[in-house]
Amino acid sequence: MADTFSLQRVLETFRSSLSEKKEVYMKYYIAGWQELVAFMNSLGNVFSFISKDVVSKIQILENFLLGENRSHYVTIQSMVKYELENDLVDLTKRGSHPESGCRTLLRLHRALRWLELFLERLRTSTEDSKTSVMCSDAYNESLAQHHPWLIRKAVGVAFCALPGRDTFFDVMNAGDHMQVVALLGESLPLIAEVYQITEDLYAKNTLLELP
Ligand code: 1PX
């Protein structure tokens, strides 16, 4: 991972995460999140409580990916199958497997929906659109439904510290505004596809509400 964020690289990692059979490779899914964390860190300390949580979730998944059972963690599909078949998931309340791959990935998966909604707003925004509004609208439509009041409040405060739209376009490192918009148009279907495949898999296995 290079130090400067580039939207192009995020796009490439998410593209690499889809196999021919439309399975999702954990390695690239995680790499995509690492890029996004780097971006968030570059926005300042107000976001560190958010990025800390993402980093710890990435770490949990990476440990599975490198651990002795790594052959089962190559794709999200193989992880779900393995953890369910071996009773490694707390299904109704947190118990002996509070940090399963399935529940950890679910948190990132919900956040991916936020990202999709936010980037779509950014793509179709106009000069006077506010990033804080785009961010919080996307948040209220997605992640907020899974967060308690206190977190929602803290997130609201962080949103107020977001840089403006021009800065956002600049830090994406993808050329002028029109080029960024074009690249967003290219990235979004990919992010949406990865999201939908995961959503369908989790729905099929009744995993969407894991504690
Ligand atoms: C190209 C521009 C892209 C911008 C990239 C920014 C990436 C931001 C990613 C945010 C990911 C947040 C993951 C949150 C996971 C989560 O829901 N965790 C909660 C539940 O976990 P638990 O283990 O307890 O069940 C946890 O309680 C969360 C705590 C921290 C708050 C998370 C707030 C998420 C707000 C999303 C908006 C981020 C705005 C960043 C500005 C760019």
Does 121 sit in the ligand 1 pocket, CB within 6 Å?
no
Among residues 130, 168, 165, 135, the alpha carbon closest in space to that of 152 is found at 135
Among residues 110, 66, 95, 74, the alpha carbon closest in space to that of 207 is found at 110
Does 183 sit in the ligand 1 pocket, CB within 6 Å?
no
Does 155 sit in the ligand 1 pocket, CB within 6 Å?
yes
Query: If you measure from the C-alpha of residue 21 to the centroid of ligand 1, how many angstroms do you get, rounded to a whole number?
Result: 29
Query: If you measure from the C-alpha of residue 112 to the centroid of ligand 1, how many angstroms do you get, rounded to a whole number?
Result: 9
Greatest mean pLDDT among 3-7, 33-37, 156-160, 191-195 lies in: 191-195
Domain boundaries, the chain: 7-202
Whole-number pLDDT of residue 53: 96
Contacts of the segment 101-105: beta carbons below 8 A, 24+ positions apart: 101/60, 101/61, 101/64, 101/73, 102/202, 102/207, 102/210, 103/210, 103/211, 104/57, 104/60, 104/61, 105/29, 105/57, 105/61, 105/76, 105/79, 105/198
67 contacts 83 by C-beta, under 8 angstroms: no
Q: Which tokens belong to 187?
A: 């990235």
pLDDT in tens, 32-73: 999 999 888 887 787 888 999 999 999 999 999 999 999 999
In this structure, the residue with its CA closest to atom 4 of ligand 1 is: 36
Does 50 sit in the ligand 1 pocket, CB within 6 Å?
yes
Whole-number pLDDT of residue 2: 52
Distance (Å, whole) CA 126 – CA 51: 28
Pick the CATH number of 7-202 from 1.10.760.10, 1.10.3520.10, 3.40.50.720, 3.30.70.141: 1.10.3520.10
